[in-house]
Structure formats: C-alpha cells, structure tokens
C-alpha cells in the first residue's frame, strides 16, 4: 500500500550522547532502603534475648516491606521522564523484581513478628496470631491487604501467568492499590519506629502521598486529558502482510502529544470484544499532526480482532511510552534489526533516525515482510540500506552470528544497534552483538514482556 505519511526531508544530524537516569534512580532507591534501616537503628535502644532478635528482624522486614510497596507502585506510575529516559521494559523488570522481594519481605515480617510476640508472651503461635489479627488496631485491614498482595504475587509467577488471560492478570494486579491502602494504617498505628517521631511519620506520609499523586496524575488524569483533548478515532485499516494489519488513527492536534518515532501507546478500542483490553502497540510510522499509525500481527483473539475495526470506532490511548528512540543514539551510524512484526517501531526510526542507517529485517518468507514497500522507498529517499534475512527454500533459518553480522556491517562495533522482535530472537542477537564487539551501551532493545 502507499503510506499516508509524508517522508521527512530534513537533513540527518549527528546525535548527541545521552546520559541515562537508570543509575541515579537505582542509587536513590537503595538510599531510601538504607534510610529505612537507619530509622530502625536510631529508634531501637537494645535487642535482648530471642524475642528481641525475632521482633527486631520482623520490624526491619516490615519497614522494608512498606517502603518496597511504595516503590512498586511508583515504578509503574508511568512517569514520562522515567519512561523515556529508562524505558518501559526496564521499569517493568525492576517492578517484577521488586515485587518478588516485597512478597519475601512480607512473609518474613509476618513470621518473625508473630514468632517474636509469641516468645515474648509465652503463648503459642496460633494463639498469638489470633490475638494480633483480632485485637491490634488496623490489623484486620492489614490482614486483608496482605492476602491481596499474596494473591497478586501468586498470579504474577511465570508458571501461573502463562496459564491465565492477560486481562485477568491485569485486573487482579490493579488490586495492589487496594492492598497498599489497607495496609498503610497499621504501619503507623503499630510501628514502634514512628511512635513519637514526627519527622519519620511525616516522611512516610510524604512518600505514600507523593506516589499516590504520581499515579493519580499520570495513570488517571493525564490519559483522561489526552483522550478528551485529541478525540481519537479509527480512520482506516489496511492489510500489510498475511495476518498483519495497519490501523490509522485520526485525532486533533496530535503533535501536541509529543510522541516520537520508536515509542508506543497502550490502545483500547471502544468496540465489542476490545473495550476491556488495553494493549501496547508501537507507532509504525512517524506521528503526524492529525494521524497516528500502528501495525498489528494477529497473535491471539484480541490482536486478530483489530483487523475487523471499522472507521469511526472510538479509541482510548495512553502514552506515549518507551525509550527506543533517537535519544538513545551515541554515534552517527545505526543498525536496526527487526524480527517479524518487531519491524513496526524500527520502520518509524528508519525514516527519522539521524546519520547513516541500515535496516536488517528477519522474516520467514518474502510474503511476510510487512511494510516492505515503505522501507524500500525510505531507503531510496535517504540513501540507506535495507537487507532481508529469509528462510531458505527448505525452511532453513539464516544464522545471525557475530561473524555474519560483521560481514554485513564491517564497522559494526561503531554502530548503535536497535533490536526489536520476539524475546528469544532478541536474546540471541544480543549475544551475537556482544561477541561482535558492540558495547552494551550501544545495544538498544525494548520489550513488552516482563
């Protein structure tokens, strides 16, 4: 098909190096954890006997659990600065890792505190548990919040998540907000580290209220504002390759959104069967003032239904998200490597990235090369190269090894390399690129998988 997007005519520029916020943010988060442990240290005069050791360890675990809950929510608040500078996939991985630590700390907190209290009172563990849950202030709500967090953690385990629908996992995951709210009260009501410490209590409130404000603004108010302001609707749906469809979305003043080539939105199409599903799809062409475009491969019921969308269907979008943009460039040469439908964000980058650009597209057959006509037109316009890695006549797969990549791009180690495709494809390519001498800082990849 002929693209509805006009190609840019500006001369490519040499990119400037960019510093990532990943290191400073991690340092800040670990500093916060250290401050939490320091709070326990300063509020504890002495630790005496077995009961004291168990209770002290339980208090530390509890403080860290409370802090980790705030971090968990904050990492998924979709703050644009973090999304663009660090990347949605890295934030999601940090969130998943922090979630596992949080559940472990929570279980440790419960076990250690109950064991310490039981040793102190000379009662059985069962009796002490009943007393704490029923008689201590705020504990019934905290118990409900704890059960919710454990359920959320269980459904996030890889073995479970592979067996449940994404929508079920997503809506269960939203219960994290309720769990954190229910557990907050008992942290201050029973936390000995906050008793009489006005500064610590104020800091804890500031932490939770600050995270709540980020969630309220960026996950609720900002999407409402975007969709009320820009009024998105499906303009057209086009077939690009077997099982691959492009959806053109029209809206008002879309240039004000600030989307960049390589980024993605979370899309919700307000029609039967799709209105309850929010799915991430990358822009497959540079954004225009009145049009956005995504290209979707039918991999399941939801993505297959995209091909049936009718012009005029209302669209709810959240974003833009992601850091797979020109901002990651560190040199004037770039290699884009796409696997299957992973070509979608790279097609947009192929048109807009400054400097010398080569695109390598891996697909099974020539018929599976979505957007091929556009890619070749862009290559002619800007004097770039498009290369294809297709299966052989008997289905044999081409080997993208360090040696073959270096033969294709002789000065590969001086290129920024953008990779987009299935997880296994990206993992193999990463190993090949590192073996070819490409520095880690020049390999750019973003995935929607946790």
Q: How far apart are CA 150 and CA 17, in angstroms?
A: 43
pLDDT at 17: 40
pLDDT in tens, 178-214: 999 999 998 988 888 888 889 999 999 999 999 999 9
**What mean pLDDT do residues 272-277 have?**
84
**What mean pLDDT do residues 372-391 have?**
92
pLDDT at 301: 65
How far from chain centre, in Å, is Cα 21? 15
Q: How confident is the model at residue 448 (pLDDT cuts 50, 70, 90)?
A: low
pLDDT at 298: 78
The encoded tokens of residue 145 equal: 């919040």
Dihedral of CA atoms 369, 373, 374, 380 in degrees, nearest 10, equals 120
Which overall architecture, per CATH, does domain 326-445 show? 3-Layer(aba) Sandwich (3.40)
pLDDT at 19: 57
Q: How confident is the model at residue 10 (pLDDT cuts 50, 70, 90)?
A: very low
Q: How far apart are CA 160 and CA 367, in angstroms?
A: 36
Q: How far apart are CA 333 and CA 373, in angstroms?
A: 23
pLDDT in tens, 109-128: 999 999 999 998 888 999 99
pLDDT of 268 above 90: yes
Q: How far, in Å, are 69, 145, 213 from residue 182 at the CA level? A: 12, 5, 17
Q: What is the 3-state secondary structure (H, E, C) of 174-213?
A: CHHHHHHHHHHHHHHHHCCCCCCCHHHHHHHHHHHHHHHH
Quickly count: other Cβ atoms within 10 Å of residue 253's Cβ: 11
**What mean pLDDT do residues 435-446 have?**
90
Asked if 306 and 349 touch (Cβ cutoff 8 Å), the reply is no
pLDDT in tens, 127-169: 999 999 998 988 999 999 999 999 998 888 888 877 887 778 8
**What mean pLDDT do residues 298-318 have?**
86
| 231-321: CATH number | 2.40.30.10
Collect all residues with Cβ–Cβ distance below 8 Å to 338 and sequence separation of at least 6. 346, 347, 359, 360, 361, 362, 420, 421
pLDDT of 427 above 70: yes
**pTM, to two decimals:** 0.82
**What mean pLDDT do residues 217-240 have?**
95
Mean residue pLDDT of the chain comes to 88
Q: Exposed/middle/buried for 200, CB within 10 Å: 0-12, 13-18, 19+? A: buried
Q: What is the CA radius of gyration of the chain?
A: 26
**What mean pLDDT do residues 425-444 have?**
91
Highest mean pLDDT out of 188-197, 375-384, 394-403: 375-384
């Amino acid at each position: 098909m002929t693209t509805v997007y006009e190609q840019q005519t500006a001369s490519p520029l040499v990119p400037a190096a960019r510093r990532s916020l990943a290191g400073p943010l991690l340092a800040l988060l670990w500093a916060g954890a250290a401050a939490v442990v320091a709070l326990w240290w300063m509020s504890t005069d002495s630790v005496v006997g077995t009961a004291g050791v168990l209770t002290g360890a339980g208090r530390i675990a509890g403080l860290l659990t409370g802090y980790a809950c705030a971090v968990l929510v904050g990492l998924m608040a979709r703050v644009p600065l973090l999304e663009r500078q660090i990347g949605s996939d890295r934030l999601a991985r940090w969130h998943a890792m922090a979630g596992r630590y949080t559940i472990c700390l929570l279980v440790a907190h419960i076990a250690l505190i109950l064991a310490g209290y039981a040793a102190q009172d000379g009662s059985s563990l069962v009796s002490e548990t009943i007393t704490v849950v029923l008689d201590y202030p705020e504990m019934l709500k905290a118990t409900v919040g704890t059960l919710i967090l454990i359920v959320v953690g269980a459904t996030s385990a890889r073995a479970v998540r592979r067996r449940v629908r994404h929508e079920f996992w997503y809506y269960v995951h939203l219960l994290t907000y309720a769990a954190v709210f229910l557990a907050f009260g008992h942290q201050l009501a029973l936390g000995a580290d906050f008793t009489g410490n006005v500064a610590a209590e104020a800091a804890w409130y500031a932490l939770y209220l600050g995270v709540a404000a980020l969630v309220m603004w960026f996950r609720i108010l900002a999407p409402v504002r975007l969709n009320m302001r820009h009024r998105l609707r499906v303009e057209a749906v086009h077939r690009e390759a077997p099982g691959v469809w492009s959806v053109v979305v029209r809206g008002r003043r879309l240039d004000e959104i600030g989307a960049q080539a390589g980024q993605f939105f979370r899309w919700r199409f307000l029609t039967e069967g799709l209105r309850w599903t929010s799915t991430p799809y990358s822009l497959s062409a540079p954004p225009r003032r009145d049009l956005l475009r995504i290209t979707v491969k039918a991999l399941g019921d939801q993505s297959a239904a995209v091909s049936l969308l009718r012009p005029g269907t209302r669209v709810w979008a959240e974003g833009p998200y992601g850091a797979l943009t020109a901002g990651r460039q560190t040199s004037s040469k770039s290699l884009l490597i796409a696997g299957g439908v992973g070509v979608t964000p790279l097609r947009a980058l192929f048109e807009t990235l400054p400097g010398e650009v080569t695109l390598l597209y891996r697909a099974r057959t020539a018929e599976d090369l979505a957007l091929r006509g556009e890619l070749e037109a862009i290559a002619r316009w800007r004097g770039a190269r498009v290369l294809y890695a297709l299966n052989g006549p008997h289905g044999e797969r081409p080997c993208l090894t360090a040696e073959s990549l270096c033969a294709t791009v002789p000065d590969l180690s001086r290129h920024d390399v953008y990779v987009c495709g299935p997880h296994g494809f990206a993992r193999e390519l990463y190993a090949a690129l590192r073996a070819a001498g490409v520095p880690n800082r020049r390999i750019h990849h973003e995935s929607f998988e946790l």
